[in-house]
Amino acid sequence: MDRKKDFPKLRFTSLKSGCLVRPVAPTKLSGRYLAHQKSLPRLPVPPLQQTLERYLLALEPIVSQEELENTKQIVKEFGQKGGVGERLQASLERRARKTENWLCDWWLRTAYLEYRLPVVIHSSPGVLLPKQDYYDRQGQLRFAAKLISGVLDFKTMIDNETLPVETLGGNPLCMNQYYQILSSCRIPGPKSDSVVNYSQTKKPTHITVVHNFQFFELFVYNSDGSPLTVDQIYMQLEKIWHSSLQTNKEPIGILTTGHRNSWANAYNNLIKDKVNKESVKCIQKSIFTVCLDAPVPKVSDDLYMSHVAAQMLHGGGSRWNSGNRWFDKTLQFIVGEDGSCGLVYEHSPAEGPPIVALLDHVFEYW
């Protein structure tokens, strides 16, 4: 059963053990996620005076006394009764009444999608997992197969809407980001990027595997809808590993490390070719990506953690594994041949808690 497909044109911190996240029910609970989201209170708009007071408080450590006094006067005028501040506050409160979350879209657009510096280092976090006890290709592929199986197990809870609801102080929290981290990808644009999530329609059944700078489509479900076993996944990874050695390597993935405007221009040129466009779409729609990294130079024990953390964060540059990535992909699990492993994730679809919950589950699942 050959469930891989290569792309002919596109040759293109530390986490401790947690606890296995367990589903709240053994079977699918259709509608549970939506019902939970609708029951949550809307994000409140802070009172104008509170906002102004906190703004001044935040400025105190970073401006001179003269600048602070000048700003206080400006803030006082801004907050006067019937002034600009009150009119803007009323507009903000109207927005809050009409939207589920008045801040979310603004934050996503301003903090991430309109941010033009590279996602690498500037916004995408790297996560270093505990070093694994293997030192060869077979161990690398066996570990990667178990990792994939663990993520698919977490995905089952997302698909079945049986994830436990997060709480804070006994109050339920929004779970929307848990449903955004799989089958999603950032798309470059000339002035602003976008994020697409493909799990909302026909759920993808494949992941992307990258080895030797080449991208492969690996279907991870059987015809009856059950996920592949660890042994089945391992056999497919073996085929991918051998296939990637038979072609010339061109690290097209390195393009995703660039300034967002430059990458957007390159992206538009890249997808003018029909095969390239289909290949890129396949990466974007995949559930997640697994990067099988090539060995890197050995370093002393005291430098090892920093060295490997850099591999998780950016791949070490064009000479090493940075071309073995698609940095726009939300989740990229990295498995090195020396036992190093971790994750780099594109930050716009989610903050840290859903990622940590997934990694806790996968780590205990092993």
Residue carrying the six token digits 């939970």? 36
Interatomic CA distance for residues 163 and 178, integer angstroms: 9
Interatomic CA distance for residues 318 and 224, integer angstroms: 41
- Per-residue tokens: 308: 């490997």
Angle, alpha carbons 91-92-95 (nearest 5°): 90
H and E: helices and strands count for the chain:
11, 11
Compute how many other C-beta atoms are within 10 angstroms of the C-beta atom of residue 59.
14
Q: Among the residues of the chain, which ranges form H helices? A: 32-39, 48-59, 65-78, 84-98, 104-107, 137-160, 230-244, 260-270, 274-285, 301-314, 352-365
Which among 206, 211, 347, 361 is annotated as catalytic?
347
The DSSP letter of residue 339 is S
Closest CA to 144 of 59, 233, 28: 233
Nearest-Å Rg of the Cα atoms of the chain is 23
Segment holding 49, helix H or strand E: helix 48-59
41: buried, middle or exposed (CB in 10 Å: 19+, 13-18, 0-12)?
exposed
Interatomic CA distance for residues 256 and 270, integer angstroms: 12
Closest CA to 128 of 298, 43, 13: 13
Residue carrying the six token digits 């290949």? 279
Active site residue 36: no
Interatomic CA distance for residues 354 and 308, integer angstroms: 23
- Per-residue tokens: 24: 């709240």
- Per-residue tokens: 73: 């006067």
Return the active site residues: 347
